[in-house]
Amino acid sequence: MGSLPGIFSSPLPSRPDRSRPRTDEIRIAGGDTATPLNLAKRVRLLDARLGLRGKRVLDAGCGAGEYVESFVARGADAIGFEYDAGKVAAYQAKHPGSMRVRAGLLTAIDAPSGSFDVAILNEVLEHTPDEAATLAELHRVLKPGGTLVVFAPNRLYPFETHGVVRRNSGCPLSPWTPGIPYVPLALGRRWWVYWARNYWPGELGRVVADARFRLVGRAWVGQTFENISGQQPPWVAGASPCLRRFVGLVEACPGLRCFCPSQVVFALKHP
């Protein structure tokens, strides 16, 4: 893994950050990222960075277990914990007798301390009401020197991928409305409810570092245009092959990839 970029080495704030969404507005929710192309892209990234074979891997907030099974296919001993009982039931219906996907809260994982080589939060941290408690629990279950990987929304991307809700009417604003992430939250909260967090790159780094992890690298993940949100404009489906090629070029360009919708942080557990 690469060395820590300078953006992560800025001083930690000495007082609470009032520019962040209120905890009571964050919902345990969200769609799955396990569409075929997106899943394959993320698993390739993880395998290239970490070498999954032989690793004991925790997928925290694993949905219906598609990533868990992909990790197993690459030689990992993987299990997942999921809050949504319906998704756990869907996994068990597809894999009778398997205990690799289990129901549970990420703040109270049913595993001994020091159980895992790798813990992954794949577009999950932004939906946890208590970030600090979630990260503390993952710190507990990781082995000393174990790796935490966090995929999370990137606020440099000009669209709010989860969308926001109009505060006065309760109606959602389309996630395809440009510029929402760039509105200061203290101002945006006057008009909208943010039901999921969106992180500046330095902000996500500080959240992870505050939980006693040492940041060692990052990456960026572009869209695969598989309508993960369910709100993709119809014309995108026809243009998706060209759009995917364009995204591949963006991901390969150092000056542009930081504007991808998803950022990835790699961090090691401090003792």
Q: Domain 21-269: state its class.
A: alpha beta
Locate the DSSP E strands across 22-108: 56-60, 77-82, 101-103
Q: What pLDDT, on a 0 to 100 scale, did the predictor assign at position 12?
A: 32
**Interval 74-95 mean pLDDT:** 96
Per-residue pLDDT tens digits for 13-27: 333 444 566 666 887
Q: Does residue 102 surpass a pLDDT of 60?
A: yes
Token couple for 36:
């075929």
Token couple for 49:
């960075």
Q: What pLDDT, on a 0 to 100 scale, did the predictor assign at position 174?
A: 85
Kindly give, in sequence order, each residue whose CB lies less than 8 Å from that of residue 175, ignoring residues fewer than 6 positions away: 159, 160, 161, 162, 163, 229, 231
Per-residue pLDDT tens digits for 222-248: 999 998 877 788 888 889 999 999 999
pTM for the whole structure: 0.89
Q: What pLDDT, on a 0 to 100 scale, did the predictor assign at position 176?
A: 85
**Interval 166-176 mean pLDDT:** 91
Q: What pLDDT, on a 0 to 100 scale, did the predictor assign at position 11?
A: 32
